[in-house]
Structure 1
Amino acid sequence: MDFEKQSIGTEDFAEHIRTKKIYIDKTSYLPELYGEKVHPNGMRYEDKVLLITRPRRFGKSLTMSMIKNFFELNYANPKDKSNPKELFQNLAISKDQDFCDKYMGEYPVISISLRGINGTCFASAIGSFLFEIGRVYNQYSFILNSDILTEKEKSDFNYIIDISNQNDFDKWYETHKIDSSLKIKNSLFLLTYLLNKIYKKKCIVIVDEYDVPLQKATVENYYKEMLDVVRGMFEKVFKTNEYLEKGIVTGCLRISHESIFTGINNFSIYTVNDEGFNKFIGFTHDEVVELLQKQKLSSKENTVMKWYDGYNFSGARMLCPWSVLNYCESAGKADNLDEHIPGNYWINTSGNDIVDICLKHPDAQDSMRLQNLLDGNTEIIESSDFTSYPQINTETDFDTMMNMMLHTGYLTAVKTYSDRRLEVKIPNQEVLESFRERTKKVFSKQNTPWYEKVKSLKAALFNNDKDKVQTLINELLINFVSVRNTAQESYYQGFLSGVLSLTVDDPAELQSDTESGKGFSDLKIISDLKKNAIIIEFKKLEKGESFEDICAEALQQIEEKQYAYPYAQKNYRILKYGIGFYGKECWVATP
């Protein structure tokens, strides 16, 4: 009996099917992709070139491999369709016989991934770009045996392969800077021309992860140069290319049509906020329920949905395949399923620079909006297209950062307004845990400027420097956020006890909500070695109150409840602080 296997990270569709790995069937979307779906109004809509954006690890590459395997002809024997028939025989598309007869195994398909194109400078990035182009060209080296191509055409083809395998690329590049960029720009177009000439069929061109080179170029400061190359390549292959049957492009981020797809006619963009193809990439809720049943994990459905559900792609309830499959493998191997703990699989699949930058954003109002999201609430942001890949830094406006987080999977839209504003939230527990991990690092000893300021605050508290304490708390509050167990938990008490905990070696030195005198004081810092005791009481400013009044009330409570009594009995030096808070502002008073 054949058993299905589960595989995580497999991006080769043919290998996936032949080795009987579990596959969530998305083949029913192929007619829509090709403009053959009849919509409720009786119309069909065809896109010549499509850009489909989804967050990382949602299965874009495997989906593109599936498309390639369905449409690609047998170059050695174009009439032989046995390969795609074998691969798709048990999948949904096989039931649409007319579509299969018309399109299966009918086209040359060129597929390239730009994921690996990077470099610390433009020259090294061009080198990796040429290497990837050469790898694609090598897949079609058999066309050199064709009598249909001229010697000049074969020479042009060979030249691409030769320059992609330079032994001393840096030396070669010094004298071929312009030529190398031109060859990249022309490479996909040239291949469509050559394949069309031999097979008399137009080509399908797939470009996966188109925005990765632009993202990396932004970080390394050669964005304009890389944009020129990518845009030039797209213009050649997708704009008025008579050898093009269809173009399919994927990525995480939508960069505006005018910026990178200039002049490409019949070009359509499908993001996480568009209804078209909203269930095509990623797992739907129903697909995950079925998957759990298949793996005898239905008892963990609520856990899976709490941790990994929550993405809303224009009305479609979606989950990240990477997270779900990792959970299924981990839970499936567990000796005791009842004690199995869900994992955070998504956070380790890419960098978290944008989260760290957002957490350090020096704007009190924005910090409060982020805290509201971390508390499980929603925020309304302005939806925007990016005219270029954003240079994300601490000066970037909040809405731009939130749009980046939306497209990269840290947020999801729960409502779209008529004026294109979006109501967004953190989708699930896994992403919330990602934020928790990042806040631990950003607001920790690892962040030297932050830690030095916290140490100064502790010193100011022991020095009874009220004004400095107030200044430092206000500075720290500006961008501090935390992942709290409940939104009702004392934010300010948690804030100050959390930051001061970084400075103590003995946990007993810092005491929060502990019994003292006739009640429970908010916060105490006790130094038995120096015989010092700091007593802090917090008050939140309410409407109609003043900072002076609530701070005086806090100091009065310290006296009435005799919080300092146990330490006075030991002849400790006692320092008392009444601290009032409102939003991202505080006021400090002493007796």
Structure 2
Amino acid sequence: MKTCKEMALIWNISVRAVTSLCKSGRIPGAVKNGKSWEIPDEATKPVDGRISSGEYCKKGMTTDRKPLPIGISDYVRAQSDYYYVDKTMLIKEFLDQKPLVSLFTRPRRFGKTLNMDMLRVYFEMTDEDTSKYFEDKNIWKCGKDYRLHQGKYPVIFLTFKDVKFDSWQATVEKIKSLLQEEYGRHQELLSSLKISDYEKEYFNKVLSATENEVELSFSLEKLSKMLASHYDKAPIIIIDEYDTPIQEGYSKDFYDEIIGFMRNFFSGAFKDNKNLSYGFLTGILRIAQESIFSGLNNLTVNSVMDEAYDRYFGFTNEEVSEMLDYYGATEKESELQEWYDGYLFGNEEIYNPWSVINYISKGCVPQAYWVNTGKNEILEDVLKVAYEDITEKLYSLIRGGKVLARIDQNVVYRSLTEDPTNIYSLLLVAGYLKTTIKELQADGSYLCQVSIPNKEIASVYKSEILAHLMKIGAVSRTTADKIAESLFLNDYVKLEKAISEYMDKTISFYDTASESFYHGMILGLISMMDNQYKIKSNRESGKGRFDIGLIPRDDKYPGMIMELKWKKNLDDDELTLLADEALCQIHSMEYDSEMKSEGVKKILKFGIAFSGKSVCVKTN
């Protein structure tokens, strides 16, 4: 008998893929011994529907397989018509703890809206028997104590995910329309004998969207009171993506207006509101420093750093393995993991759910699916305030490095201008970084080692940083093209000129930069060549590690190796000697060994020396 690990090596697939095959009964004779599987020595690799090449064939998805829920945030529809990853145990965990008001902070497109709609359907009392949507789910197996809560509460539900406008007035009108729609869901209150005439008058104002801003700010408080009076049961209030209009206010210059409104809006709904059974909010950030939740001592925050609810937003390893098995794509697990895994929420390793379902549904083609669902404004804001040390660390992250950073979960958008080191906190909660090591500090912050989670996020760093350099005039598209062309043509004079042009247009901190900064700078400038080359940094080859290698994806391109050197205050002759030294190092250390072994016939070698704003390039 063999272990899953041994079979994984023999069959050239991941251990998790073999385990999934065992669980699904695809390997005859496989038996579970304790926590491990034992597989017969003579077992053969299953071939029914498995992927044996880089091409994923959609026709392999037979008609009995449900489609994946791309863009579906309606729980009833998602669980009945699509492949649904069961997250209903979130309900059990909540009912075990019973926090009065819960805030869940997670990156965009990690299932927040779908989970909040699931809570609404579970708890809301309606004329329809909604228990049928949960009878085959995990929560229903937990017993009557949990089932007793199903369909027993009036619910107020708002999602702010589409409140994205350029002005405060347009934002107010959109919020009015959301309240108008939600009040419209509860028009039974207008005929209730338990609701006073003045309350019905206010209700009609909201229905007709004629209330002023002050009246709008206590609309949640008013509706919760009326629902509690009518049903003799305090409602549950759910606010999804509460901070979306706040981010818009920050970027569109109505930040103070939206903060002032939200402070009153949430205070009436959640602070000392006796007409509240439970409250749920979701967002990317906890905007505590702006006093939106001022005095709200009943708020429980569940962030990416916390263990509570860590497996309910995004997909776990087990969930992804089961999904790949369902669609007959278990052999794509390693690729999928490389591109979309890597997040750590609490103690749980998490995949980006939006990217996973797009990857599988679009034929297992790895692309940057998640990063294209938004404008990446947060990363743009970070780059605007990044100074030398931060920029250097961002380049280090692109190269696969790790950065030590203090993570403050109370970070707000405008704190970037007050203290640019807050960028790491913002990037972490927004999904652009992951923690590899974290240590809680006495003030409630964390000291963390952070890195880029996966290939998808690495791609957006490259594109956004290059776009930012162009925007500030540090590098033009023409300059970037010149660099790419000079590398292809092995024209070191043109390369030297293009790099010099770039540095001449940048600010003076390059004068005191380090070798690692120049290393990152070159990586950023050649990032546009990612389609033609696999760009490697600090890769072991020959007798040491080269600085930058460009391994061609097609035989028609030459391979390239770059060795970088840097020293302060060099004159032209000294800079030339340093470039010669870098080129000699490529030859003497045989950095081209790996490329040669991979069949790359033509390899260009560049020795590049920097001193302040001066550069010298030597080539073979």
The bucket for the TM-score relative to the shorter chain is: 0.7 to 0.9
Alpha-carbon RMSD across the aligned residues, in angstroms, is 3.9
| Matching residue's letter, 2:91 | L
> 1:60 is matched with which residue?
112
CA–CA distance in 2 between the matches of 1:485 and 1:257? 41
1:255 Cα deviation (Å)? 1.5
> 2:75 is matched with which residue?
13
> 2:464 is matched with which residue?
438
Q: 2:224, 2:276 within 8 Å by CA — same for their partners in 1? A: yes
- Answer yes or no: is 1:290 the counterpart of 2:316: no
Q: Which runs of 5+ in 1 are unaligned?
A: 37-44, 77-81, 165-178, 332-339, 496-510, 515-521, 523-537, 561-576
- Answer yes or no: is 1:281 the counterpart of 2:313: yes
The C-alpha deviation readout for 1:52-94, integer Å capped at 9, x for no partner, is: 00000000000000001111112x5xxxxx6221110100111
> 1:28 is matched with which residue?
89
The C-alpha deviation readout for 1:507-558, integer Å capped at 9, x for no partner, is: xxxx9969xxxxxxx7xxxxxxxxxxxxxxx75147x997778524247779
Equivalent residue for 1:129, pick from 169, 175, 179 = 175
CA–CA distance in 2 between the matches of 1:268 and 1:91? 26
> 1:267 is matched with which residue?
299
CA–CA distance in 2 between the matches of 1:424 and 1:380? 6
Q: 1:216 to 1:491 in 2, by over 3 A?
A: farther
Q: 2:340, 2:454 within 8 Å by CA — same for their partners in 1? A: yes
> 1:421 is matched with which residue?
447
1:361 Cα deviation (Å)? 5.1
Equivalent residue for 1:181, pick from 200, 213, 216 = 213
Equivalent residue for 1:366, pick from 371, 379, 390 = 390
Q: 2:304, 2:346 within 8 Å by CA — same for their partners in 1? A: yes
Please give the residue correspondences for 1:472-511 in structure 2 after superposition, counting only pairs within 5 Å.
472=504, 475=507, 480=521, 482=524, 483=527, 485-488=535-538
| Matching residue's letter, 1:4 | K
Moved more, 551-560 or 150-159: 551-560
1:578 Cα deviation (Å)? 9.2
CA–CA distance in 1 between the matches of 2:583 and 2:81? 73
CA–CA distance in 1 between the matches of 2:345 and 2:429? 11
| Matching residue's letter, 2:452 | I
| Matching residue's letter, 1:485 | I
> 1:217 is matched with which residue?
249
Equivalent residue for 2:99, pick from 13, 35, 47 = 47
Q: 1:7, 1:21 within 8 Å by CA — same for their partners in 2? A: yes
| Matching residue's letter, 1:20 | D
Q: 2:236, 2:277 within 8 Å by CA — same for their partners in 1? A: yes
> 2:399 is matched with which residue?
375
Q: 1:294 to 1:215 in 2, by over 3 A?
A: same
Please give the residue correspondences for 1:520-539 in structure 2 after superposition, counting only pairs within 5 Å.
none
1:286 Cα deviation (Å)? 0.9
1:46 Cα deviation (Å)? 3.0
CA–CA distance in 2 between the matches of 1:281 and 1:559? 50
> 2:206 is matched with which residue?
160
Q: 2:583, 2:607 within 8 Å by CA — same for their partners in 1? A: no
> 1:400 is matched with which residue?
422
Match of 1:116, SS state, is: coil
Q: 2:284, 2:429 within 8 Å by CA — same for their partners in 1? A: yes
CA–CA distance in 2 between the matches of 1:122 and 1:406? 28
| Matching residue's letter, 2:369 | Y
> 1:118 is matched with which residue?
164
Equivalent residue for 2:138, pick from 80, 87, 92 = 92
Q: 1:211, 1:252 within 8 Å by CA — same for their partners in 2? A: yes
Equivalent residue for 2:239, pick from 189, 193, 207 = 207
Please give the residue correspondences for 1:303-382 in structure 2 after superposition, counting only pairs within 5 Å.
303-331=335-363, 341-359=365-383, 363-382=387-406
Moved more, 357-366 or 374-383: 357-366
The C-alpha deviation readout for 1:248-294, integer Å capped at 9, x for no partner, is: 00001121266211111321101001111111211111111111111
Q: 1:451 to 1:295 in 2, by over 3 A?
A: same
Match of 2:237, SS state, is: strand
> 2:193 is matched with which residue?
147
Q: 2:140, 2:147 within 8 Å by CA — same for their partners in 1? A: no
CA–CA distance in 2 between the matches of 1:558 and 1:64? 57
> 1:252 is matched with which residue?
284
TM-score normalised by structure 1 residue count? 0.75
CA–CA distance in 1 between the matches of 2:322 and 2:498? 61
CA–CA distance in 1 between the matches of 2:549 and 2:467? 17
Moved more, 433-442 or 234-243: 433-442
Q: 1:590 to 1:193 in 2, by over 3 A?
A: closer
- Identity fraction in percent: 26
- The higher radius of gyration belongs to 1
Match of 2:267, SS state, is: helix
1:140 Cα deviation (Å)? 0.9
CA–CA distance in 2 between the matches of 1:470 and 1:343? 30
Q: 1:347, 1:431 within 8 Å by CA — same for their partners in 2? A: yes
Equivalent residue for 1:227, pick from 250, 253, 259 = 259
CA–CA distance in 2 between the matches of 1:124 and 1:222? 11
Equivalent residue for 1:69, pick from 99, 112, 121 = 121
The C-alpha deviation readout for 1:465-495, integer Å capped at 9, x for no partner, is: 9998796287477883525722227998889
CA–CA distance in 2 between the matches of 1:453 and 1:432? 24
CA–CA distance in 2 between the matches of 1:290 and 1:588? 53
1:118 Cα deviation (Å)? 3.5
The C-alpha deviation readout for 1:442-469, integer Å capped at 9, x for no partner, is: 455x7655229949x99xx89x999987
The C-alpha deviation readout for 1:351-380, integer Å capped at 9, x for no partner, is: 123334444655332222111111112111
Match of 1:250, SS state, is: strand
CA–CA distance in 1 between the matches of 2:67 and 2:477? 52
| Matching residue's letter, 1:246 | Y
1:228 Cα deviation (Å)? 1.1
Q: 1:378 to 1:240 in 2, by over 3 A?
A: same
Match of 1:103, SS state, is: coil
Match of 1:487, SS state, is: strand
Match of 2:107, SS state, is: coil
Q: 1:374, 1:432 within 8 Å by CA — same for their partners in 2? A: yes
CA–CA distance in 2 between the matches of 1:265 and 1:466? 58
Q: 1:190 to 1:513 in 2, by over 3 A?
A: closer
Q: 2:65, 2:327 within 8 Å by CA — same for their partners in 1? A: no
Q: 1:312 to 1:161 in 2, by over 3 A?
A: same
Match of 2:349, SS state, is: strand
Q: 2:435, 2:448 within 8 Å by CA — same for their partners in 1? A: yes
> 1:519 is matched with which residue?
none
CA–CA distance in 2 between the matches of 1:556 and 1:184? 71
CA–CA distance in 1 between the matches of 2:83 and 2:272? 40
